[in-house]
Amino acid sequence: MTRRIAITILLTVWAAIIIAGSAAWGVAYFVMRNQLDRSVLDKAKEIAVRSTAAGGGPANRLKMAIEVEADPNVVDKKFISMPGGKEIRQIVYVRREGGQATISLSADNFRLTLNVLAASLLGCGLLAGLMAMLLARRLAQIALRPLRQTADSIAEIDESKLDRRIAAAELPVELQPMAGRLNELLGRLGVAFEQRRRFLADASHELRTPVAALITTMEIALRRPREAAELAETLQMCLSEARHMRVLVQALLRQVRSEGQVNDELTEDIDAGQMLKECADLADSLAIEKQVTVVRSVQGSVPIRAVVGRLRSVVLNLMSNAIEYSPPGATVEVSAANADNSEAEIAVRDNGPGIAPEHLPHIFQPFYRASKHRESEGHLGLGLFLVKSHLKAMGGDCRVESLPGAGTTFRVRIPSSAALTPNGGR
Amino acid sequence: MRILVAEDHATLARSIANGLREEGFAVDLTADGDEALQLTRANPYDCLVLDVMLPSRDGWSILQHLRKTGAQTPVLMLTARDAIEDRVKGLNLGADDYLVKPFAWDELLARVRALVRRGHGQKSPVVQVGDLQIDTAGKTVQRAGKPISLSGREYALLEYLAHREGKVVSRGEIWDHLYDQTDETTSNVVDVYIGYLRQKIDRDFEQKLIHTRRGLGYVLSADL
């Protein structure tokens, strides 16, 4: 970058110097040649005067002088190289009384002067070019210093310093939009890294307590000789603890996978109603166990574009939550409909106890549990977080409405399929 | 020595309680923050083991309430987070010690013992009463250089008396510090254990160390 700018400046300056030098030499050439020609004519005059003195007739002398002094009818002017490296200037003119006269004068002086001039112009040009080169480099360095500083500050940024920003105001105006975009990028990366850091911190936090339980239980068991039955009981405790940890680890793995891009997965055009019915069939066994009825409500076709595995996980997650929190005898209503031309909506509604308003804004956060009891095994507070992650990856979203005592509705928005035109049936 | 363990992870809580009981501590257990606070008001604990994350009221809040009412009970905080600011917060709020999960059982035990000792104004793990020497770390007792073998309860009783050396300790106090909520015994059982202790510690010696203050309680002292 620096080099390119320096070269540009250098070439510009150099071209200017060459043009100026050439012009100067050209002007000098014409001026000096005219002077030379005048010298030649002066010489002619002198010769005329001398020849008069030598004995030419006065009339003749006068005529010649007048001829030369007045605008002579010059027919040819040329430089002639003489043997021996000499050069002469020769002017041929037509005499008024007829015939031609040719006068020559040595052009050595003229040549010498022009050559000296050319040499000094060339020398000056080279010198000026060299200076231009140094100047250009210096100028480029000065002009690009903020850019270098920016590069240095970018080089210092790593994942632990994503809160740093490029000082856009110090950059040349042309570069400011780029700095602005870079700062926005840093902002987005910062948010993403912070989310990931939080998730990891939360996950390790979630793992610490069961690990502590395992270690403590086994350490105490090993402190003294125990009966086989007591040891079996301890092992049983450890096993259930380890199983709980397995659930957690699997959920973490699922989360890591769900964050991946949807691009390399197969997005399909499917019917949301069909998907909903399949999921409801799967959820029925759980519902029967809890004496809950699952009511399906799908009208017409609801074409959507989604990753089947992800969407199934979303719907099953919401359904099993709804069934779990419903009292015996209650109904869980699941529906699919075209929301508008670009999106479809899948809703899961229960008549359970609802979610308290203070918990509502947090339920999609990882490891958030409305009840702080860790007793309910398998409830890690990751289910709804996964729902959100899956939907985000597919360009959808999930919202929740809940009234304590009246029940909860989860509304999933998912892009409609472009291949099939929604028939608007609701 | 009576300890309250407030921890909502069932397995961990149960294991800590079992382990402490095996070491001769009386242990009350709760998984709820509010209940923990109520228990600290109702019983004279020698040490509290508080998890930071508890339902209904977290460990910080319990600690704060406790210190606000002037209770000096030593507190060991258990936490799954080891951020420096958490430690600082705990110590600022008046926690006496801080342990990050997962911890080694021996460490928890050593810290609980140290806190109990400090709570009773003892810095050294060895308590000397006349020629009676009680090593609270190794839980061994010697009199005049001869080792004395005590049962868990007997040892706990002697340790408690030793911590309050020279002071009259009532039967009720002893019972409060040696038995947890689940014990169905009455404070009469204290007299029985005092009897056992006298046999093992005082019977063969000229100088008696355990003294009865009629209607008040007992004193462990070499100067009476």
**Is the CB of A372 inside 8 Å of chain B's CB atoms?**
yes
The owner of tokens 């003229």 is: A110
**Is the CB of A358 inside 8 Å of chain B's CB atoms?**
no
Number of A to B CB contacts under 8 A, please give it: 80
**Model ipTM value:** 0.77
Q: How many alpha carbons lie under 13 Å from residue A113 in its C-beta half-sphere?
A: 12
**Residue A213 is nearest to which of B15, B53, B104, comparing CB atoms?**
B15
Chain B CA closest to residue A212: B102
Answer yes or no: CATH 3.40.50.2300 is held by domain B2-119.
yes
Amino acid, single-letter form, for residue B214 = R
* 426 residues of chain A, pLDDT tens digit each: 566 667 777 788 788 888 988 898 899 889 988 888 888 877 776 766 555 555 555 555 555 555 555 556 777 888 888 887 788 888 877 766 666 777 788 888 888 888 888 898 888 888 888 888 888 888 878 877 877 888 888 888 887 888 888 888 877 777 788 888 989 998 888 888 887 777 777 777 778 888 998 999 999 999 889 999 999 999 998 998 898 888 888 877 777 776 665 556 678 888 988 889 888 888 888 888 888 999 998 888 889 988 888 888 899 889 988 988 888 888 999 999 988 878 999 999 998 888 888 888 888 887 777 665 444 444 667 788 888 888 888 889 999 999 888 889 999 999 988 654 544 443
Of B120, B129, B130, B123, the closest CA to residue B163 belongs to B120
**Residue B11 is nearest to which of A206, A217, A224, comparing CB atoms?**
A217
* pLDDT score, position A58: 54
The residue ranges of every structural domain in chain B are 2-119, 126-220
CA distance B67 to A40: 120
Predicted confidence (pLDDT) at residue B212 exceeds the cutoff of 60:
yes
- A223/B105 CB distance under 8 A: yes
- A210/B9 CB distance under 8 A: yes
* pLDDT score, position B109: 92
Residues B50-67 as b/e (b if ≥16 CB within 10 A, e otherwise) read: bbbbbbebbbbbbbeebe
- A237/B100 CB distance under 8 A: no
Q: Which domains does chain A have, with CATH numbers?
A: 2-131 (no CATH), 175-258 (1.10.287.130), 268-415 (3.30.565.10)
Q: Evaluate whether A388 touches A370 at the Cβ level (below 8 Å).
A: no
Judging contacts by C-beta atoms under 8 Å, the chain A residues touching residue B53 are 372
CA distance A170 to A40: 67
List, as ranges, residues 50-69 from A with C-beta within 8 Å of B. Answer: none
- Determine the 3-state secondary structure of A228 from DSSP: helix
Tokens linked to A386: 């996964």
pLDDT band at B40 (very low <50, low <70, confident <90, very high): very high
**Is the CB of A359 inside 8 Å of chain B's CB atoms?**
no
H/E stretch holding B112:
helix B105-119
User: Do you find a cis peptide bond into B102, omega within 30 degrees of 0?
Assistant: yes
Q: Topology of B126-220 in CATH? A: Arc Repressor Mutant, subunit A (1.10.10)
CA distance A351 to A371: 19
CA distance A150 to A187: 17
DSSP state of A160: G
**Is the CB of A208 inside 8 Å of chain B's CB atoms?**
yes
Q: Which residues pair with A264 in a beta bridge?
A: none
CA distance B166 to B219: 6
